[in-house]
Structure 1
Amino acid sequence: MLLNNIQLRSGVVGGTFLSTAINFSFNDVLFTAVMAIIGAVVSFIVSYILQKMFSDKE
């Protein structure tokens, strides 16, 4: 019974992964990468500004 359960789970996970991977296009991956870069840059800039505003060194 345990072996059957593992086979069922691996079949469901593998099928879900493959059906999702087929639907990705290059434009989706490129858009996600650009948005991640923009988010990282904005996060860095905001952190830097807040650090300068609230630093004790004056």
Structure 2
Amino acid sequence: MSNHQLTLSGTCGGMLLSILPQLTSEDVYRTVALAAVGAVTSFMISYLLKKMLEDRDPKDPPL
């Protein structure tokens, strides 16, 4: 490994190890819950838009 790679890996490892003790289980649960809400919202909007566009008459002008 070159000197640059060792410095980069040491810096990233040190940063990760300094952040980990500050994370609480509440933060992890909140992140998981927000990710789930975002995924469901994205899926529902995509599904509704797809249904709306499928039901349109092809002769209608684009939205």
Question: What is the TM-score normalised by the length of structure 1?
Answer: 0.79
Ranges in structure 1 where 5+ consecutive residues have no aligned partner? none
User: Aligned-pair RMSD on alpha carbons?
Assistant: 2.0
1:22 corresponding residue in structure 2: 21
Letter in 2 for 1:34: A
Over the matched positions of the two proteins, sequence identity in percent amounts to 39
Partner of 2:6: 7
After TM superposition, give the deviation of residue 36 of structure 1 in Å. Answer: 0.5
Residues 1-55 of structure 1, C-alpha deviations (whole Å, 9 max, x = no match): x744433222211110100111110000000000000011111110111001001
Report the number of matched residues: 57
Match of 2:61 in 1: none
SS in 2 for 1:52: helix
Instruction: Report the TM-score when normalising by structure 2.
Output: 0.74
Q: Which runs of 5+ in 2 are unaligned?
A: 58-63
Q: Distance in 1 between matches of 2:48 and 2:5?
A: 51
